Structure 1
């Protein structure tokens, strides 16, 4: 068994698609109309047949409450990995990404946290 799709609530699908592709560097895999919204997935440019991330609209009070609660408590909604967190941090900072935690050591790994501009904090990890 493996994970093929996971989702992340976003407050604006178009803004999220732009951020996740143009800033983070993911690749759009699917963008299909779904009623008032779209089924949008992105994948790692290095593994385009890997796990898909759905940019799920938070057009639901439960989703909004969940997303807002995580943000208010400073809890990342998900985690992405990188081989060089310091290099990625500098690249993202140059694109105007706001970090709530700069890269720091945590045992045998390094962590950082940034705001995805769509209602989420994202943890970045280098193992």
Structure 2
């Protein structure tokens, strides 16, 4: 069993596609029209054949209250691993990304949280290297 696809509801698929590719640096895997929406997936350039992130339309009535509750509590909807959280924070801030939590040491990892401009909070995590005993 493995994860090959996971979904993230977005307010506007075109805006989300631009943000996730132009700002975050993901690559488009699928962009297939389906009625008024798209089967729109992106993947990490570091794992081009790895798991896909479906940028799914947020039109279902249950989505808004769910995401509003998470955002109100500051809970990220997704988490992406990075090798250099300080560098990513600087790069993304330079591109206008708004962080709701700057890089923070939580013990075994460093984390930061940003607004994806499409209705979600996203957490970046940099696990700390385990030092030899």
- With structure 1 as the length reference, what TM-score do the two structures score? 0.98
Return the alpha-carbon distance in structure 2 between the equivalents of residues 52 and 91 of structure 1.
23
RMSD: 0.6
Residue 108 of structure 1 and its aligned partner are, at CA, apart by 1.7
Residue 7 of structure 1 and its aligned partner are, at CA, apart by 0.3
Query: 1:87 is matched with which residue?
Result: 87
Query: 2:65 is matched with which residue?
Result: 65
Query: 1:4 is matched with which residue?
Result: 4
Query: 1:122 is matched with which residue?
Result: 122
Return the alpha-carbon distance in structure 1 between the equivalents of residues 35 and 66 of structure 2.
23
Q: Deviations over 1:14-53 (max 9, x none)?
A: 0000000000000010000112110100000111100000
Secondary structure in 2 matching 1:47: coil
Unmatched segments (≥5 aa) in structure 1:
none
- Runs of 4 or more, structure 1, over 6 Å off, are none
Kindly tell me the number of residue pairs found equivalent between the two proteins. 127
Unmatched segments (≥5 aa) in structure 2:
128-133
Query: Rg larger in 1 or in 2?
Result: 2
Secondary structure in 2 matching 1:3: coil
Return the alpha-carbon distance in structure 2 between the equivalents of residues 31 and 68 of structure 1.
27
Query: 1:78 is matched with which residue?
Result: 78
Query: 2:130 is matched with which residue?
Result: none
- With structure 2 as the length reference, what TM-score do the two structures score? 0.94
Return the alpha-carbon distance in structure 1 between the equivalents of residues 108 and 71 of structure 2.
26
Return the alpha-carbon distance in structure 1 between the equivalents of residues 79 and 87 of structure 2.
17
Residue 60 of structure 1 and its aligned partner are, at CA, apart by 1.0
